[in-house]
Structure 1
Amino acid sequence: MNGTRIDADGWTRRTVLTALAAGGVGSLAGCLGGGRGGPDPVSLNGGQACDYCNMRIEMHPGPVGQSFYTDDPPASLPEDREDGIARFCSSTCTYNYVLENEQRGHEPAVSYGTDYSSVDYELRSDGGTTVISAHLGAESFADLRDLTFVANSDVEGAMGNSLIGFTDGDDAESFAGEHGGELLSHGDVTREVLSALGG
């Protein structure tokens, strides 16, 4: 099942709007750099392992994430990781890693998560569980601070219950209306929220 409707010409409303927005945002990003002063997101389809749980990212469904530790990388990042990027197989791994390292005094320049408002996602059954598709291209990410998350829905990702993010709040509300769950902003995500998700 597709997350957005495709019309007879093969174009979705979201594809057209995304293309128009990307032109404007792309020109701004060239002036401003990546997410609010940090680097731009990168693709995660090169066989990387999650820096929190060590699962292979591209082998699992659901939202993924990345954080850029450009100035002060945590000790948990491999020493040969010169780009300072921490990569994650799920939104819960992303937040667990970021929050744990913030407690140790390491804050990322920027963190990104899958933006399901910018992709044509699919839902499928996997052993009786409904899972959402993964999107690993650089263009499918948005700054975590710009996402509205649906938590505790009946749709899962790599680590089970997920934080499924949307830059369009209406998309998040619609998803929650169809699949259950509650809406959270970036600032609402705490270790307690993650524990309740089982992450």
Structure 2
Amino acid sequence: MMNFITKAISNTLSKTILKAASKAITLAGLFSLALLSGCSQEKVEAIAAPEPVIIQNGEECDLCGMYINRFPGPKGQVFERGGVTAKRFCSTRDMFAYALQPEHQHRIEHIFVHDVATAPWDEQEKAQYIDAKTAFFVSGHDLKGAMGPALASFSTQADADQFIELHGGEVLKFSDIDIDTLSMMSHQEMHH
């Protein structure tokens, strides 16, 4: 009789343990799926870039406070993580001055600049925006933007080279531009 009771208890315990293990595995699987779907959702959101906004008359530069559309040359926009609207800038130089600050660098998700080849220099509000990280920039040219020199931005190397033939300068990639680049632009302006 004792053997029968031991087998019954052992059998019941085995079934209970199997049921608990099965539930745990099912819950772990569901939790893993939830995590994976959450991860894939985050990836989709991170990949989908916001659309650049049209800068309206009367809007001020988020760095210097000047009216953006009152000045010639390409403008810039920065979208930060968790931000609802773009930071807008009266020049590519001001945009980089903002974006290169350590307190801003880690928050930036997307940066847009005008493609200078798509509109006249003094009508850049009509130009198309492009991703600044893939753009070609011309520094040291003879055209002025808001408050002096500006980095002329282009979607192709060929357009940047053609601009250089007319206005001088040198081509830089996004990763080439740092605070020293901006300082040299300001320094060159003082000696012209």
Q: Give, in angstroms, the shift of residue 151 of structure 1.
A: 0.3
- Does the CA contact (< 8 Å) of 1:64 and 1:134 recur in 2? no
8 Å contact kept, 1:37–1:109: no
Report the RMSD for the aligned CA atoms in angstroms.
2.2
User: TM-score, normalization: structure 1?
Assistant: 0.66
> What pairs up with 1:104-183 in 2 under 5 angstroms?
106-117=106-117, 119-121=118-120, 132-137=121-126, 140-183=128-171
Map Cα deviations across residues 1-47 of structure 1 (whole Å, 9 max, x no partner). Answer: xxxxxxxxxxxxxxxxxxxxxxxxxxxxxxx889x532110101242
1:38 aligns with 2:26: no
Residue type at the aligned position of 1:91? T
Mapped contact 2:89–2:95 kept (Cα < 8 A): yes
Q: Is the 8 A contact 1:114 1:135 kept in 2?
A: yes
Deviations 1:121-161 (A, max 9, x none): 1xxxxxxxxxx324225x61101012101101111111211
Aligned counterpart for 2:78 among listed residues 50, 64, 67: 67
| 4+ long deviations beyond 3 Å | 102-106
3-state SS of paired residue (1:136): helix
Where structure 1 has 5 or more consecutive residues not aligned to the other structure, the ranges are 1-31, 74-82, 122-131
Could you tell me how far apart the structure 2 residues matched to 1:105 and 1:189 are?
A: 13
Instruction: Tell me: CA distance 1:49–1:63, structure 2 relative to 1, closer, same or farther (3 Å).
Output: same
In structure 2, the gaps of 5 or more residues are 1-43, 188-192
Counterpart residue number, 1:10: none
Q: Secondary structure at the match of 2:60?
A: coil
Q: CA deviation at 1:120?
A: 3.0
Residue in structure 2 matched with residue 29 of structure 1 by the alignment: none
Alignment length (residue pairs): 144
Q: Which amino acid aligns with 1:42?
A: V
| Counterpart-to-counterpart distance in 1, 2:148 and 2:184 | 12
What secondary structure is seen at the aligned counterpart in 1 of 2:52?
coil
Q: Secondary structure at the match of 1:154?
A: coil
Partner of 1:56: 67
User: TM-score scaled by structure 2?
Assistant: 0.68
Query: For 2:78, what is the secondary structure of its paired residue?
Result: strand
Structure 1 contact 151–163 (Cα < 8 Å) conserved: yes
Structure 1 residue matching 2:94: 3-state secondary structure = helix
